[in-house]
Structure 1
Amino acid sequence: MNRILLIRRDNIGDLICTTPLISNLRSHYPNAEIDILVNSYNYQAVEHNPDINHVYVYTKGKHRDAGQSLLGVYWQRIKLTLTLRRKHYDLAILASGAFSRHALKLAKSAKPKAILSPAPNGEEIDDITISVPEPKQPLHEVEKTLLLLQPLGISAQTHPLTLHPDPHEQAVLRAQLYEQPWHQHVPTIGIHISSRKPSQRWSEQHFSELIQQLHQQYQVQILLFWAPGDENNPLHPGDDQKAARIMAQLNQLPILPMPTTTLRQLIAGISLCDQFICSDGGAMHIAAGLGKPLVCFFGDSCAEQWHPWGVPHVLLQPDSRDVADISVMEVLRAYQQVLHLPPPHSPANALG
């Protein structure tokens, strides 16, 4: 097994959850060329992964840059396909917990000697050389991807997630923070206020109350993360207004804004935090990949499959499956629990 191509074309968290599979492959095949094909949306999550030889990037039509034509996107994909074919891969792995027809199409275009994939539901596909059945019991996404190693005779080890910040981006953000009232030796909590899914969105009033109480009770400083953009943008709504209102309400507290326009910036920013509080999503998996203790909110998503992997965390998911029903006091207790801190004040004192 001299050349292996991994394919993961989904979201940021999905790709980060694939890194234990990559670590296991590298341990078993220390001298193999292990490459990965990802998309322009998620590739920065693996660009510094030491277990990968080459990161190949393609652009989905919906992710193309302003001014970039759809024809140009497809032309670049054709050139990339020819590059991959010249590598003569021994194996392509559809590195996901579930079968993806789009990923299979990408694998076939590279013309590897064999394709390893999760089994499609009730369907036989001749192009798949080795298929791994869907597990009967519920598993985490990391565990699902590790099942793909069984046909290769690899006894998977439960490696942590692997994520490395870009050193230059990290240095730039640290320098920017030093220009503000940020102190390296004061505990820093990262709080991410954005989420794509409505059921995962906590209100700005809750965030404001939480930040106030965290500072009052634990003397911490806050890095406030959000997805930049106008909240009224129908295609890519952001949280500029929400962040501005939170900052205005708490302008006497040590809160430092951290809007991140790139995944590289987000990874570097979270790396500067000591703990992290957020909803389920890419930022949560980034924090887990960086080894940060977490408090996370789960709305209408599967906690069993997507909870933070390999780090101390407290997961809050109300029966309603809407994070709006999580109270500030619950989050304070969760923060205390995950770090073994003294308990917060009673609700009357904490929120009075």
Structure 2
Amino acid sequence: MKILVIQQKMIGDVLTSTIICEALRKEYPNATIDFLVNSNTKSVITENPFFDHIIEFKNEYQNDKKAFYAFLKEIRKSKYDHVIDVYGKLESNLITLFSGASKRVSFYKWYTQFFYTKTIKRNLVPITNASIAIENRLRLVFPENRITSEITRPKIFLTKEEKEKAREFLESNGIVAKTPLIMISVLGSEMRKTLPFEYMAEAIDAVVKNTEANILFNYIPNQEKDARTIYNLTMPKTQRHIHFDVFAKSLRGFLAILSHCDALIGNEGGAVNMAKALDIPTFTVFSPWIHKKDWNMFEDGERQTSVHLSDYMPELFLNKSNKELKKNSLELYPYFKTELFIKQLHNFLSKNL
């Protein structure tokens, strides 16, 4: 049997969807399993043993119809028996259709259901602490009565060489294991997913005062200016603990450095999911428009903790649609003052460092 799993979204979505491949490997141990992802997310799933091949969806397939059609023909030639489309957008609809697979599964949408032989309706309420994101993905493989018994965590696999190289890199920058090391996810993927800069700076000040830890900033190159702004808002004593220019030049390098951290703190996003997949404790700050129950994977209030403005001011969210919350997230964020969650942050640090 040949199986294709499709997930063309961001890093966090791709990483979370690896549990589908793991579930399939358990269910069909002799099958060939391929995982189709966008090229820029490939590094997060390298070395994963639960699928046989990574199929890259390159940028040119989105921009060049001829290139996309050539790609579809290659998919056809692969003769898949079973396709699980986690993405569920036009590109993956067509990939699924062109595969010619006799079994084609995806999440239910009334306008695309005809592409598939089976569709699954997403549950809106979690039944475990794994989160809706985990549970709904498992529904693409298992019947409802098996979901709770088949819960598994996404995992990242690093080589010994990658970890050792990261350790040497940290030591060359004066960062040694005897001092706690904390990664700060200072910025979200967009401003609507980013705690106000001054509040983040206050949180970092509190972390350093509480732990005397070394601090690394997680940001991508085009966010450097904003990350520097947050750095400048922290107290001078805090700045002496921040290694602003110590960062990896690749995603695999970042993962290897993250594996040496004692905790990750900051905005919800891919870095949080990666930390959890490396079994690193996380303290996550959710955007006002993101439903915490969708992505607070395996939260236990100790190693994995998260906060949301609705935890403190539920009245701001009464009778508000997700569309309204997303539109007004920048107006809601100023209410999310550091003082609201500082006690929980201190508790998290005391339990994990």
User: Structures share a fold, TM > 0.5?
Assistant: yes
Q: Tell me if structure 2 keeps the 8 A contact 1:226–1:243.
A: no
Q: Does residue 307 in structure 1 map to residue 299 in structure 2?
A: no
CA contact (8 A) 1:277 1:296 kept: yes
Within the candidate set 195, 208, 228, 1:241 is matched to: 228
Q: 1:314 to 1:244 in 2, by over 3 A?
A: closer
- Matches of 1:323 and 1:268, distance apart in 2: 32
SS in structure 2 of the partner of residue 117 of structure 1 = strand
1:85-104 correspondence to structure 2 within 5 Å: 85-95=76-86, 99-104=88-93
CA distance in 1, matches of 2:61, 2:236: 37
> What TM-score comes out, normalization by structure 2 length?
0.80
- Matches of 1:271 and 1:296, distance apart in 2: 17
Aligned to 1:114: 103
Contact kept, 8 Å, 1:294 with 1:314, in 2: the verdict is yes
Distance, in Å, in 2 between the alignment partners of 1:83 and 1:281 is 33
Cα shift readout 1:78-130 (whole Å, capped 9, x = no counterpart): 5543443332211010135xx43332212223332321111213x47433112
Divergent runs of 4+, >6 A = none
Establish whether residue 255 from structure 1 lines up as the match of residue 280 from structure 2. Answer: no
Change (3 A) 1:176 1:39: same
Instruction: Indicate the larger mover: 205-214 or 28-37.
Output: 205-214
Question: Displacement of 1:303 after TM fit?
Answer: 0.8
CA distance in 2, matches of 1:136, 1:244: 38
C-alpha distance in 1 between matches for 2:71 and 2:291: 35
The whole-number CA distance in structure 1 between the counterparts of 2:205 and 2:125 is 42
Report matched runs for 1:167-246 at 5 Å. 168-229=161-222, 239-242=226-229, 245=232
Distance (Å, rounded) in 2 between the aligned partners of 1:225 and 1:279: 10
Alignment of 1:3-152 (within 5 A): 3-60=2-59, 70-71=63-64, 75=67, 77-95=68-86, 99-121=88-110, 123=111, 125-135=113-123, 137=125, 140-150=132-142
The one-letter amino acid of 1:57's match is: E
Judged with a 3 Å threshold, the aligned counterparts in structure 2 of structure 1 residues 59 and 166 are, in CA distance, closer, same or farther, namely farther
Bigger drift between 6-15 and 150-159 goes to: 150-159
Does residue 1:264 correspond to 2:252, yes or no?
yes
d(CA) in 2 for partners of 1:330, 1:104: 44
CA distance in 2, matches of 1:153, 1:108: 29
**Aligned with 1:294 (options 265, 277, 282):** 282
Query: Could you report, residue by residue, the CA deviation over 1:325-350 in whole angstroms, capped at 9, with x for unpaired residues?
Result: 333344442233335549xxxxxxxx
149-158 or 271-280, larger mean C-alpha shift: 149-158
* Matching of residue 327 in structure 1 with residue 326 in structure 2: no
Q: 1:212 to 1:41 in 2, by over 3 A?
A: same
TM-score norm. by structure 1 comes to: 0.80
Please provide the CA RMSD for this pair: 3.1
8 Å CA contact 1:45–1:263 kept in 2: the answer is yes
For 2:124 and 2:292, the matched residues in 1 are separated by: 17
Match of 1:164 among 152, 157, 164: 157
What is the DSSP-based 3-state SS (H/G/I as helix, E as strand, rest coil) of the residue aligned with 2:3? strand
Contact 2:37 2:55 in 1 (8 A): yes
**Does the aligned pair in 2 maintain the 1:208–1:246 contact within 8 Å?**
yes
Aligned counterparts of 2:227 and 2:21: Cα–Cα separation in 1 = 36
- Which stretch of the first structure deviates more once superposed, 44-53 or 315-324? 315-324
Match of 2:266 among 252, 257, 278: 278
Q: Tell me the equivalent position of 1:346.
A: none
**Number of residue-to-residue matches in the alignment:** 324
Q: Give the helix-richer structure, 1 or 2.
A: 2
Q: Which moved more, 1:126-135 or 1:148-157?
A: 148-157
Gaps of 5+ in 2: 317-328
